[in-house]
Structure 1
Amino acid sequence: MRDKIIIVDDDEDSRKLLVQYLTKHGLEVISCSYNNHDHDTLEMFYSHDPDLIILDLSTPRLAGLELCAEVRKVSDVPILFMSYHSDDYIKISAFNLGGDDYISKPLSYDVFHARIKALIRRNRRAFPVNQRHLLHFPGLEVNLSTHCVISYGKEAILSTKEFQLLVILAKNPNRVFHTEALYDLVWRDNKLGDVRTVMVHIYNLRQKIELRPNKPLYIHTVRGAGYKFNGAVSLGAIETQSETFS
């Protein structure tokens, strides 16, 4: 299976040359520009589950930094920045927001390819192939590649929005997400909607993954703030709930 990468760059000519070069060297390449709506780019990320993302920083509005921050909320996929910018502040911002490497333009294609291979190889060592797409918790398994969720040994059928909410929370255990923040992350294409839809989806999600939805083990409500995923779920707590439930 070929390694899969996503390239986001507003320079169409540069993007086409990169796609041709990297495809020739055995990579599967998906590309787009920042002129797409940001949520479309993120949907592409969810759909293709890439091994690496390449973000250009040459546009004045530095949309690549924003996109990097959004991706880092749900994934540890390697992110490589490329840019004509020589400002150290831009480079530091890229790393602080979760970037893994930075290469200056104009590119040496051979060096660029070597950087890509090194990042993918390093990520594979940190996250073995049979584990890197899985989130494991006692009683719950989330497959980021297939979108399959196994709760208490049974598959839970989630909607796209329910799955996105679960991934955001489970990838950041014990972090409190305000309701408005979750709405912005998942419903970014509908800024005029009602944030109460988050509560409805959390309710439905609990019905599908919790053994006792009225006393959830995984997704906790933080009164006056929002929600968090309990990163300290124990087998003992699950057994106690199972005994009570039965």
Structure 2
Amino acid sequence: MRDKIIIVDDDDDHCKLLVQYLSKHGFEVIGCSYSGQDTIGLFHSHVPDLIILDLLTPRLEGLELCTEIRKVSDIPILFVSTYADDYVKISAFNLGGDDYISKPLNLDVLLARIKAQIRRNKRAFPVNQRHLLQYPGLEVDLSTHTVLSYGKEAILSTKEFQLLVLLAKNPNRVFHTETLYDLIWRDSKLGDVRTVMVHIYNLRQKIEEQPHNPRYIHTVRGAGYKFNGAVSLTAIESHS
């Protein structure tokens, strides 16, 4: 399986050059995005192994996009930019960037940096941890977009799957309803925050053994929702 990369750069010629070069060297470029907002949609629809991120991305600056991605993922983020200012580089690293390369790029150096970052991330997060989210009674396969609940496949919509992945990858973290809406529906902006509540309800119906008494997705009154990372196998078996 080829490693997957998202490129975020508003320079069309530069994007085409990178796609051609990286494809030649065995990578799958799953998206060449011209805006941060488009990238959020791509990110939630795929499981990239690395993101190449230009600092000057329109409508959502690179540093802001890096912050948004770091809320939900530890995948390597490699910044590229014409900026040579040390303050900008420090800001990029402080916000979660893993590497920084100045433009104009030396493509061979870029390739070596990409391989090093992906190799380091794979050592830190083995395959079963990167592509499978496993909790007692629940398994989410990020590569095939399948969910097993109590041994049975749960058929989820795209947004339900994205919502589940976001919560399950951040156990015990409380997400405000507005934050969930912004992260999952940013690319479409359809409906309003009530959309989140409807999807949470539907998700519970599909993955919870007792939707009225959920074990996985908890409501935090006055705040939002969280995934219960402390769910125990004993507790589940006692209700089976």
TM-score (norm 2): 0.91
Give SS of 1:135's match: strand
The one-letter amino acid of 2:76's match is P
Aligned residue number for residue 18 of structure 2 = 18
Aligned residue number for residue 173 of structure 1 = 171
Give SS of 2:210's match: coil
Q: Distance in 2 between matches of 1:192 and 1:4?
A: 29
Q: Distance in 2 between matches of 1:235 and 1:88?
A: 50
**Paired-residue identity, %:** 80
Q: For 1:82, which of 75, 80, 83 is the aligned residue? A: 80
Q: Distance in 1 between matches of 2:57 and 2:181?
A: 27
Confirm or deny: 8 A CA contact 1:157 1:208 kept in the other structure. yes
The Cα offsets for residues 63-122 of structure 1, whole Å up to 9 and x where unpaired, read as: 222322232333222111111112333223322332211111222221111100101111
- 1:185, CA displacement in angstroms? 1.2
The one-letter amino acid of 2:106's match is S
Give SS of 1:103's match: strand
Q: Would the alpha carbon gap of residues 31 and 211 (structure 1) be closer, same or farther in structure 2, given more than 3 Å must change? A: closer
Q: Distance in 2 between matches of 1:21 and 1:153?
A: 43
Aligned residue number for residue 208 of structure 2 = 210
Q: Distance in 2 between matches of 1:214 and 1:69?
A: 35
Q: For 1:159, which of 157, 160, 164 is the aligned residue? A: 157
Q: For 1:141, which of 118, 139, 144 is the aligned residue? A: 139
Deviating more after overlay: 65-74 vs 180-189: 65-74
Q: For 1:93, which of 91, 109, 113 is the aligned residue? A: 91
Confirm or deny: 8 A CA contact 1:19 1:31 kept in the other structure. no
Matches within 5 A, 1:232-243: 232-242=230-240
- 1:153, CA displacement in angstroms? 0.8
Confirm or deny: 8 A CA contact 2:40 2:183 kept in the other structure. no
Confirm or deny: 8 A CA contact 1:4 1:28 kept in the other structure. yes
- 1:31, CA displacement in angstroms? 4.4
TM-score (norm 1): 0.89
Give SS of 2:236's match: helix
Deviating more after overlay: 217-226 vs 188-197: 188-197
- 1:191, CA displacement in angstroms? 4.1
Confirm or deny: 8 A CA contact 1:5 1:52 kept in the other structure. yes
Q: Would the alpha carbon gap of residues 17 and 62 (structure 1) be closer, same or farther in structure 2, given more than 3 Å must change? A: same
Runs of 5+ unmatched residues, structure 2:
none
Aligned residue number for residue 27 of structure 1 = 27
Whether 1:5 aligns to 2:14 is no
Q: Distance in 1 between matches of 2:44 and 2:57?
A: 24
Confirm or deny: 8 A CA contact 2:8 2:57 kept in the other structure. no
The Cα offsets for residues 110-143 of structure 1, whole Å up to 9 and x where unpaired, read as: 1111100101111111222343111111111111
Matches within 5 A, 1:106-145: 106-145=104-143
- 1:192, CA displacement in angstroms? 6.6
Deviating more after overlay: 55-64 vs 127-136: 55-64
Deviating more after overlay: 87-96 vs 196-205: 87-96
